[in-house]
Amino acid sequence: MRCPYCNFEETRVIDTRESGECTRRRRECLECGRRFTTYERFELLNLTVLKKNGSREQFDRNKVKSGILKAVEKRPITEEQVDLIVDRIENELRGMGSEEIESKVIGELVMRELRKIDPVAYLRFASVYRQFSDITSFEKELKNLKEEKL
């Protein structure tokens, strides 16, 4: 494994953890001594996302992660928690048995996961995903969240 800092080709594994379909390894460069994390995943069937406009594109877990990271920005949620959310979503999509997934299915899964861990992050994501156009949309969604908590 090549060090991302100095490009030296030898590293040692400090810690290995299994999390679902992924193996997380903490590594240390034998040249510069800096540490970094790598993830190993099985390469499964390619998922295609059917967009709202009718176009198709390859499923990109990094796009899902990016959207979630924007929603959880400045919230008490770690990147590891986000990675676990993305893992759960990807596993669920692959478990559906279809190579084509509608983008709305992905959005709904993200909202479900965010709703469980942080209502503010959920509202941030929902406001963009559902294209809230006014304060009434926020109020309605907030009311639904409050009723759920009771």
Residue 134 has pLDDT above 80, yes or no: yes
The pLDDT > 90 percentage for the chain reads: 73
Residue 19 has pLDDT above 80, yes or no: no
Confidence at residue 22, expressed as pLDDT on a 0 to 100 scale: 84
Q: Are residues 57 and 1 in the same domain?
A: no
Q: Are residues 138 and 64 in the same domain?
A: yes
Q: Are residues 52 and 25 in the same domain?
A: no
Alpha carbons 67 and 28: distance in angstroms, whole number: 30
Q: Are residues 64 and 37 in the same domain?
A: no
Q: Half-sphere exposure (CA, 13 Å, Cβ side) for 85?
A: 31
Residue 10 is classified by DSSP as -
Q: Are residues 29 and 63 in the same domain?
A: no
Q: Are residues 70 and 37 in the same domain?
A: no
Range ranked top by mean pLDDT from 51-60, 91-100, 128-137 = 51-60
136: phi then psi, degrees, rounded to nearest 5: -60, -40
Alpha carbons 119 and 46: distance in angstroms, whole number: 32
> What is the average pLDDT across 120-127?
94
pLDDT tens, 40-86?
A: 877 667 899 999 999 999 999 999 999 999 999 999 999 999 999 99
Alpha carbons 88 and 21: distance in angstroms, whole number: 9
Q: Are residues 18 and 65 in the same domain?
A: no
Q: Are residues 142 and 94 in the same domain?
A: yes
Q: Are residues 50 and 29 in the same domain?
A: no
Residue 17 has pLDDT above 80, yes or no: yes
User: Which are the contacts of 122, defined by CB distance < 8 A and separation ≥ 6?
Assistant: 71, 111, 114, 115, 145
Q: Are residues 67 and 141 in the same domain?
A: yes
Enumerate the H helices of the chain as residue ranges: 61-71, 79-95, 103-117, 119-129, 135-149
Q: Are residues 19 and 61 in the same domain?
A: no
Confidence at residue 71, expressed as pLDDT on a 0 to 100 scale: 97
> Which position has the token pair 């299915």?
105
> What is the average pLDDT across 111-119?
95
Confidence at residue 44, expressed as pLDDT on a 0 to 100 scale: 63
Alpha carbons 25 and 43: distance in angstroms, whole number: 17
CATH assignment of the domain containing 3: 2.20.25
Q: How many domains does the chain have?
A: 2
Alpha carbons 130 and 107: distance in angstroms, whole number: 9
Alpha carbons 79 and 84: distance in angstroms, whole number: 9
Q: Are residues 4 and 69 in the same domain?
A: no
Strands 48-50 and 100-102: parallel
The range of the structural domain enclosing residue 17 comes to 1-43
pLDDT tens, 67-77?
A: 999 999 999 99
Lowest mean pLDDT among 2-11, 82-91, 109-118, 129-138: 129-138
